[in-house]
Structure 1
Amino acid sequence: MARAVVEPAVRKHATHGPVDAPGPAELKQLAESRPAELYEAVEQLCRRASSEGPDGASALRTVGWMAEALANTRSRDCARFAADIVGRLLPLGSAQRDEPGRLRRMVAAVLVTAQQLRDLEPLFGELPDAAHDPAVEVRACLLGELALIGGGRGRPVLDAYAERLRELGHPLARMPRTRLDIEHRFAVRVRGLGPVKTTAQLRSRFPEIPPTDSGAAAAHTAGETPDAGRARVAAEPFTVSDWAREPEVRFFTLPSPLDPDDFNVSFVKRLPLDCLAGEGTRRGEAVACRTMPDDVLNELFSAAYNGGVNGRGQGGAYSRLYAWNSMYALLGVPAGTPLLDAVGRAADHRWVRFMAFTDWFHHDTSDVAFAVLDPTRTRVAVLAATDTDAGG
């Protein structure tokens, strides 16, 4: 029986020992054959779990595995059990403050992938009264995941729930219920097109922009215009997913419009950027290539969705939100600007992707660096992030 497999873990946790969980094969079998008993065991574990210390974190992981097993098992009951575990029974404690939220996002993503829409619909039967409730959060993530696969629109129950989320001001409710054209690359893997790690890869994928002396001269006239709040939002896709290094985000203003042809490597590498400090002292030359808004947006989404090499992904719904928040910050447009208006503004900007050989770039797991020139050609935003599993 399910209790015979799961209850030893509950008893160990109750006596402050390590929490063991059935293996993946056992969990799969239990979710398929005795989901109600597995859910009951999870509920018991949640009731007994300590709220502090490593035991709480261990129990949280165990419950996460069990909820994922139920979410992956196609049935209406399993979908309901999985959503209830992460929407009602969590959090178990404060040992890992962000972990309950991550589990909700993960289970929502699995549910949308594994379950039939007709078995998810009953989860939306009761409209919420508040935006910031764990059960509501699970359903908001479900709607966000459905939007990325083009599902759920035109279903009255889901439409009504989405409208209530908008009324309550839930952050995910500002995202469209379908994928925009500019988002066409989200979560799409193409063989041979992984992260850009070398200048050769950068040159092979994007048109290189030739350097100019006038670009170098223009960079010396740029004045920095710090904006800590805007920088924090621009860096969000990388910070929430624990990339190895704190991203660098800087903003500059020029006294006169920059010739678009001068927005090149000569210009970028003469800006006072930490990521380019010492450029020219190591073997290899900095490279700048022209890119487009969809490339930038996809990199922002991918950073949050895949997670850093030592971090964890944030699920599709929130990765989409973080990507757009970052894009808005790079564009310098107000947060309330409609998304399609922001798409139009992005097309009017000039986008450059660059890479250099400095102590800042790792050339290991992933290096992402962009410079953005606004339509007045007098304002520049720069975002650079790097990830590695190397120590130090």
Structure 2
Amino acid sequence: MEDAKDDLGALVWGQAEQRAAHGDASYVRELGSQLADRHAAAVEQVREYERQLAHVVRVLALTPSRDSLVQLLRLLDEKRPFTAGSNLAPRFVASLLAEHQHVSDLAATVFDRNEREPHRLDELRACLFHELVLRGVDVEQFPPLRCWLLVRPGWQALSWLPVQRRDFEAGVGFPSRSMHGSASGSGTGVPTEGRVDPPTPRTSERSALRDIATTEVHETIVAAVQAGDWGDCGAWVFMLDEAVAPARVPALLPTLPMPCVDGLSPTDRFEIAVRPVDEIWRLLFVTASMGGMHSSGVQGAYGRLWAWRSMAGLSGAPAGASADEVERHVRQSTWFHFEADADWFQNDIYDYGIAALSPDLRRIAVLAATDTD
């Protein structure tokens, strides 16, 4: 087996079958053992290259200068390393650029869509565009950004989003990155403002209503939580027999047939607050963009998309609705943020519930999320 160290491949293809046929299975097993060791070493070497490459990209992205941008774009265009790990994904690189580079430099370099690479960096451009929009950049002030709206691929998922930041999207949080680290944080607790906790003891009678959420609606409602890779989530939709005033919703929610409130006794903690649209949107945006305890999220651009998707499902916007139509539904709904000491909510890391009452007061949609498996 010493020769295998010099030309293991030749032995695998030249002797394995013959040795096995002559009953020397231990020889073949030893070949496999050496191959497994070499494979493990090669995999670790690939991972190290990925870490090193990600750091090089990070250094270029976090060094504010037009030359750094030019060299970074050249590297990304020529080598196309986007598949070599999440820290090299276009959405992550775009987030770094939006955080550290000057908008004028980004507009002049990244959005210069030349003939040499007419589309290879379009995913990066799409993500960066919405990262900038979320940060309050006025697209009209930068001709290359205005031009991007004319040439961007219509099939790209982010093209559904509005090209101007809505007022309820302002003031969102972003992670803070440096050459060797990052910091981010989010709170999911029910605030004291707007509290409408129902008096205890609450009724122990369960509602006869039934969940009518289709698979499509369910997936739409939980979009932000799943994008953030949280531990668990659930979604339910109930059509009411009659119009229910917003003031009655806090007492109704704990009685609904939902796993997230199963086992909740009449005196167990159930905290709920009426919340403005911007607070609900920020909660969903942070959930998707920054992710849970064991996830880095999908960054700003896709965090924006999935927050809008979840709001669309909760507000009852029809399938295929435009952003303007979703916004109308969102603004006309009444929003609640709640927590409970039910078993489903672990109350260990991050947990929250969101409920939306439709403008006609006949539909209640609920999202529950926990970052504990």
Which category describes the TM-score, using the shorter chain as reference length?
A: 0.7 to 0.9
Unaligned runs of 5+ in 2: 1-39, 176-184
Whole-angstrom distance in 2 between the partners of 1:118 and 1:83? 16
Contact 2:207 2:257 (C-alpha < 8 Å) held by counterparts: no
For 1:305-320, what aligned pairs fall within 5 Å after superposition? 305-320=289-304
Q: 1:205 and 2:193 equivalent?
A: yes
Whole-angstrom distance in 1 between the partners of 2:145 and 2:352? 37
Contact 2:186 2:286 (C-alpha < 8 Å) held by counterparts: no
Unaligned runs of 5+ in 1: 1-49
Whole-angstrom distance in 2 between the partners of 1:84 and 1:172? 24
- State the one-letter code of the partner of 2:359: P
- State the one-letter code of the partner of 1:196: T
Contact 1:234 1:383 (C-alpha < 8 Å) held by counterparts: yes
TM-score where L is the length of structure 2: 0.76
Q: Closer, same or farther in 2 for the Cα pair 1:376/1:315, shift >3 Å?
A: same
- State the one-letter code of the partner of 1:224: D
Contact 1:150 1:179 (C-alpha < 8 Å) held by counterparts: yes
Whole-angstrom distance in 1 between the partners of 2:148 and 2:162? 14
Whole-angstrom distance in 1 between the partners of 2:155 and 2:145? 17
Whole-angstrom distance in 2 between the partners of 1:123 and 1:188? 21
- State the one-letter code of the partner of 1:71: A
Specify which of 230, 246, 249 is matched with residue 235 of structure 2: 249
Contact 1:149 1:178 (C-alpha < 8 Å) held by counterparts: no
Matching residue of 1:146: 132
Matching residue of 2:367: 383
| 3-state SS of paired residue (1:289) | strand
Matching residue of 1:104: 90
Matching residue of 1:223: 210
Q: 1:271 and 2:256 equivalent?
A: yes
Deviations along 1:154-188, whole A, 9 cap, x unmatched?
322221112222x6232222323332111123117
Q: Closer, same or farther in 2 for the Cα pair 1:82/1:335, shift >3 Å?
A: farther
Q: CA shift at 1:369, angstroms? A: 0.3
Q: Closer, same or farther in 2 for the Cα pair 1:296/1:203, shift >3 Å?
A: closer
Q: CA shift at 1:124, angstroms? A: 1.9
State the number of aligned residues. 322
Matching residue of 1:29: none
- State the one-letter code of the partner of 1:269: P
Deviations along 1:46-100, whole A, 9 cap, x unmatched?
xxxx9x9554444333212210111111222211232344455344768x6xx27
Whole-angstrom distance in 2 between the partners of 1:263 and 1:92? 47
Q: CA shift at 1:103, angstroms? A: 2.6
Q: Percent identity?
A: 26
Q: CA shift at 1:108, angstroms? A: 1.0
Specify which of 117, 132, 135 is matched with residue 121 of structure 2: 135
Matching residue of 2:113: 126
Contact 1:362 1:386 (C-alpha < 8 Å) held by counterparts: yes
Q: Closer, same or farther in 2 for the Cα pair 1:226/1:334, shift >3 Å?
A: closer
Matching residue of 2:56: 66
Whole-angstrom distance in 2 between the partners of 1:260 and 1:320? 28
Matching residue of 2:71: 81
Matching residue of 1:46: none
Q: CA shift at 1:247, angstroms? A: 0.8
Q: CA shift at 1:104, angstroms? A: 1.5
Deviations along 1:232-284, whole A, 9 cap, x unmatched?
122122212221x22111111222222332211x3111111111121129x84
Matching residue of 2:170: 184
Deviates more, 1:54-63 or 1:84-93: 84-93
Contact 1:308 1:387 (C-alpha < 8 Å) held by counterparts: yes
Deviates more, 1:370-379 or 1:82-91: 82-91
Please report the RMSD computed on the Cα atoms of aligned residues, expressed in angstroms. Answer: 3.2
Contact 2:235 2:367 (C-alpha < 8 Å) held by counterparts: yes
Contact 1:88 1:134 (C-alpha < 8 Å) held by counterparts: no
- State the one-letter code of the partner of 1:377: L
- State the one-letter code of the partner of 1:60: E
| 3-state SS of paired residue (1:177) | coil
Contact 2:317 2:325 (C-alpha < 8 Å) held by counterparts: no
TM-score where L is the length of structure 1: 0.73
Deviates more, 1:119-128 or 1:220-229: 119-128
Q: Looking at CA atoms only, which structure, 1 or 2, has the larger radius of gyration?
A: 2
